[in-house]
Amino acid sequence: MINKLEAAEKRYEQILEELSLPEVVSDQNKYKELMREQKKLTPIIEKYREYKTTLDAIEEAQEMMAEKLDEDLRELVESEYKENKEKLPVIEEELKVLLLPRDENDDKNVIVEIRGGAGGDEAALFASVLYRMYSMYSDTVGFKTEILSANETGLGGYKEISFMIEGDGAYSKLKFESGVHRVQRVPETESQGRIHTSTVTVAVLPEMEDVEVEINQADLKIETCKSSGAGGQHINKTESAIRIYHLPTGLVVECQDERSQHKNKDKAMKILRSKLYDMKAQEQHDKIAGQRKAQVGTGDRSERIRTYNYPQGRVTDHRIGLTLYSLENFLNGHIEEMLTALATADAAERLKSQES
């Protein structure tokens, strides 16, 4: 571990030197690339330097305790020695987590797809609740949200909605949200006051660039059609909606949110690239699933990952066994505690598998 940390620190210092060179400053692509690398290394280097400072403090205290000291000073030195000895293993564990291989997609924007599952109109209504939750969360952390495609119901829900969340590290924050979300509540349309259970599926896909996912135009069938549903006076009057079929896989994506056919096509292609990447990632996941059954993962999309229970005001994530009794707050976008717990559990699981 120390060798890795020393190499990382050497590279960090090298980057700082390169960033000050005029030829690098004038090359925006090179400059941005180095800045991204520096940003990734910074938390590791800061923690490593804290580790070295703590080690130095322990050695200094040991040397002082070997000398003749008055009672008050000895008590102070022994206290600092004990405090740093207790802190050292904590820092070592934090360093191990920081040195875990990063997901190459962690810094990317995400495309989130929410689809109503079992429960009909009630599921569609809860899909709109989840869209609102992720939008409000994005606002609190400074991310930007943009609807790519939406299929609304008459009651104000969504049969399905796809939207982009743009922000540094959006995928690292939201990648564990993929799966089946279950809601237990009394529907507004239920006269008997009975609790219904409905489900919504969420898929979180990293946004992929053209160069990362190559698409053969000959594999595409592109149709234009009139937009449908709520959305303004241009709806149903112009053929601005785009539907793209990817013939080899059978994937179909549709976008009708923009008035411009060109903009709708761009958005549909973004969704298609991310879906094709996700298909490959799922194939790889299925191959190794047996080796890592305890993962928090972005794994099986049919897995029920979370329950939102309205009568009891609680939300439970079944993968890590965490229950929060603050459902209203959670649905208002305050989901950071849950996201952090999921990321921590995943890191612990990866550490465990690395050490075994």
pLDDT digits (tens, 9 = 90+) for 71-101: 889 999 999 999 999 999 999 988 988 888 8
Residue 201 has pLDDT above 80, yes or no: yes
- What pLDDT does residue 234 have? 39
Whether 93 and 119 map to the same domain: the answer is no
- What pLDDT does residue 36 have? 84
Q: Is residue 355 part of a domain?
A: no
Q: Is residue 282 part of a domain?
A: yes
Q: Is residue 320 part of a domain?
A: yes
- What pLDDT does residue 291 have? 45
Which two structure tokens, joined as six digits, stand for 21?
Answer: 């060179």
Residue from 218, 208, 260, 254 nearest 239 by CA = 260
Whether 191 and 57 map to the same domain: the answer is no
Whether 184 and 325 map to the same domain: the answer is yes
Contact indicator for 327, 310 with CB cutoff of 8 Å: yes
Domain range spanning residue 223?
110-289+297-350
- What pLDDT does residue 262 have? 78
Whether 12 and 119 map to the same domain: the answer is no
- What pLDDT does residue 321 have? 94
Residue from 353, 345, 339 nearest 175 by CA = 339
Residue 213 has pLDDT above 80, yes or no: no
Minimum mean pLDDT range among 7-11, 45-49, 220-224, 258-262: 258-262
Q: Is residue 53 part of a domain?
A: yes
Q: Is residue 198 part of a domain?
A: yes
CATH number reported for the structural domain that contains residue 275 in this entry: 3.30.70.1660
Letter for the amino acid at 269? M
pLDDT band at 259; cut points 50, 70, 90: low
Q: What integer best gives the mean pLDDT of the chain? A: 85
- What pLDDT does residue 287 have? 54
Contact indicator for 115, 160 with CB cutoff of 8 Å: yes
Whether 64 and 125 map to the same domain: the answer is no
- What pLDDT does residue 245 have? 86
Minimum mean pLDDT range among 6-10, 32-36, 252-256: 252-256
Residue 356 has pLDDT above 90, yes or no: no
Which two structure tokens, joined as six digits, stand for 334?
Answer: 């305050």
Looking at 65, 98, 131, the residue that finishes a domain is 98
pLDDT digits (tens, 9 = 90+) for 276-312: 888 877 776 665 454 444 445 544 556 799 999 999 9
In this predicted model, which residue has the larger pLDDT, 323 or 255?
323
| Exposure class string for 189-207: b at 16+ Cβ within 10 A, else e | eeeeeeebebbbbbbbbbb
- What pLDDT does residue 257 have? 65
pLDDT digits (tens, 9 = 90+) for 46-78: 999 999 999 999 999 999 998 888 888 999 999
Query: Directed axis angle between helix 121-141 and helix 336-355, to 10°?
Result: 80
Residue 117 has pLDDT above 80, yes or no: yes
Whether 42 and 180 map to the same domain: the answer is no
Looking at 43, 67, 98, the residue that finishes a domain is 98
Q: What is the C-alpha separation between 169 and 40, in angstroms, rounded? A: 11
Whether 224 and 123 map to the same domain: the answer is yes
Whether 37 and 163 map to the same domain: the answer is no
Whether 131 and 280 map to the same domain: the answer is yes
Whether 249 and 317 map to the same domain: the answer is yes
Mean pLDDT to the nearest integer, 333-341 = 95
Whether 6 and 115 map to the same domain: the answer is no
- What pLDDT does residue 235 have? 42
- C-alpha distances in Å from residue 303, one per residue of 17, 111, 169, 202, 209: 48, 20, 25, 11, 28
Q: Is residue 103 part of a domain?
A: no
Whether 86 and 163 map to the same domain: the answer is no
Contact indicator for 313, 327 with CB cutoff of 8 Å: yes
